[in-house]
Amino acid sequence: MLDYTKADWTERASGLRLRNKAFIGGKFVDAASGEVFQSINPATDGLLANVASCDMEDVDRAVHAARTVFEVGSWSRAAPAERKAVLLKLAELIRENLEEFALLDSLDMGKLVMDAATIDAPGSAHFFQWYAEAIDKIYDEVAPNSPGDLAIIARVPLGVIGAVTPWNFPLDMATWKAAAALAAGNSVVLKPAEQSPLSALRLAELASEAGLPDGVFNVVPGYGHTAGRALGLHMDVDCVAFTGSTAIGKKFMEYSGQSNLKQIWPETGGKSPNLVFADCENFDDAADMAALGIFFNQGEVCSANSRLYVERSVKDEFVEKLIERAQAMQPGNPLDPGSKMGAIVDRKQTEGVMRFVEAGKQTANLVTGGAQVQVDGKGCFVQPTIFDDVSHDDPLARDEIFGPVLSVIPFDTEVEAVSMANDSIYGLAASVWTANLSRALRVSDRLMAGTVSVNTVDALSAQTPFGGMKQSGFGRDLSLHSFDKYTALKTTWIKYSLS
Ligand code: NAD
């Protein structure tokens, strides 16, 4: 697969079987209403599939299936080692189908197939394996009570978890939620983004093949205002793990208050700062990573390093290096292994990105890119774009654009850089480039972000928690901390006689 040509990928894409129905109670089913929505390939504007458009009735069926099996206990009360075996099998099946998963996400939302084949799909297998291996190594607690009072503090599954995910990493966002929630013994109802439902449907089918009991993992494709809202308002959902925009994260908090006070865990937007100091050890590495930090996945990354603060004395030289790298990353056919950037997810998102770019042309210094383009006469693509000398108050520096647009802002002192970096409603991630260890530690300590990467960008692994501060949300995906979202602490007191 790693040596496939564009023709190989294209041929395999044309032979792909797409699952387009909802997956409820272990079966593919139509939406009760019979309604469908269109899944469009943004690189070609072509129709991929008509997908079941779930609404309240379908969500209710899925929640009912999830609750029923939870009560039966075939998964929720299975020995952790049994759950481990099933999830390890699922990881293996994902690995056996990497090529298919890579194509599904690439066709559905425009990302480079090679990124999906080498990062997203293997990542999904790895995360399932990681949670499978973790689950039979977690011990509960005994409270240090007086003799005669035994109190066991156990982590128990919450019940039915709603997972609502975005379109930028369709398979991996579904995995981040489902792997930990399932390992902990919950049932899951997943609503993938309407722009990219296909990989989640295939994942559910493979989970069933791996041995997950019917009803434990359900997928209800559909729109946010119908299926997503129904999940948020459902009286029998115990928790919604959400990844998406800050505005919709806030809506889920409202849904919770209007319904059953379900737990809401929002992983939301970002506008991550990248601080490059004049004492940075290697400016070429810093420029490579700064370009990757904003142009990877077309800039459609919640933690994208979209604000670049560079010390004034080295700013012009650094921007020159960035321009060179940006120009070498022009968009191309996502199925071509030689392409450096793929398509933007859809027309609406492309228009939104271009509105920021057009406004920026009036307020900042456009140094490269700035145009919407087509590839082979089709599709939604935006050039890698850099604005220099952006004012800290410009929307370019304030708002999440979620596209390949970088804003460069010069600074004179460390205090000024940290203060501008922290002056944002978001706090998901940040990066710092310096060879001075004291500065690295001092600045990392002061940056208000869930993850700070020093001399790299967007560092992440299964072993480390991922999530934000401020309006980037709360709760953490990945690592053992993710179990905090999907379990409740239950105390059992036992009185016993001392004589
Ligand atoms: P979005 O908020 O528009 O949609 C996310 C999900 O919410 C989708 O499944 C959508 O259908 C659903 N939804 C939309 N409207 C809804 C409503 N009224 N009620 C219920 N559900 C609704 O976000 P998006 O455009 O899919 O993704 C981009 C956003 O996701 C960006 O803001 C990005 O930063 C964020 N994101 C965050 C993280 C993170 O870990 N913090 C990771 C990836 C993406």
Domain ranges of the chain: 6-268+473-490, 273-470
Residue closest to 274 by CA, chosen among 386, 443, 380, 421:
421
Rounded average pLDDT over 50-63: 98
Q: Do domains 6-268+473-490 and 273-470 have the same CATH topology?
A: no
Euclidean distance between the first and the last CA atom of the chain, given in angstroms as a whole number:
70
Residue closest to 359 by CA, chosen among 385, 320, 325:
385
Task: Clarify whether 267 is annotated catalytic.
Answer: yes
Tell me the pLDDT band of 62, cut-offs 50, 70 and 90.
very high
The amino acid at 429: A
The pTM for the full model equals 0.97
* CA nearest ligand 1 atom 18, residue: 225
From the candidates 239, 280, 302, 380, give the one annotated as an active-site residue. 302
Cβ(430)–Cβ(453) below 8 Å: yes
- Quick one: 273-470 is in which CATH superfamily? Aldehyde Dehydrogenase; Chain A, domain 2 (3.40.309.10)
Domain 6-268+473-490 fold: Aldehyde Dehydrogenase; Chain A, domain 1 (3.40.605)
Tell me the pLDDT band of 294, cut-offs 50, 70 and 90.
very high
Distance 243 CA to ligand 1 centre (A): 6
Task: Clarify whether 96 is annotated catalytic.
Answer: no
Distance 285 CA to ligand 1 centre (A): 32
Rounded average pLDDT over 413-439: 98
User: pLDDT tens-digit profile of 372-403?
Assistant: 999 999 999 999 999 999 999 999 999 999 99
Structure-token match 């966002």, residue found: 173
Whole-number pLDDT of residue 256: 98
Distance 248 CA to ligand 1 centre (A): 6
Distance 156 CA to ligand 1 centre (A): 28
Alpha-carbon gap, residue 171 to 148, rounded angstroms: 50
Range 334-371 burial, b when 16+ CB lie within 10 A, else e: bbbbebbbbbbbbeebbeebbebbeebeeebeebbbbe
Whole-number pLDDT of residue 283: 98
| CA 305 and chain centroid, separation | 15
**Ligand 1 site-directed mutation target among 245, 356, 471, most atoms within 8 Å of CB:** 245
User: In the predicted model, is pLDDT for residue 161 greater than 90?
Assistant: yes
User: pLDDT tens-digit profile of 168-191?
Assistant: 999 999 999 999 999 999 999 999
> Average pLDDT of the chain?
98
**Ligand 1 site-directed mutation target among 225, 248, 348, most atoms within 8 Å of CB:** 248
User: In the predicted model, is pLDDT for residue 29 greater than 90?
Assistant: yes
Whole-number pLDDT of residue 1: 84
Whole-number pLDDT of residue 196: 98
Whole-number pLDDT of residue 351: 98
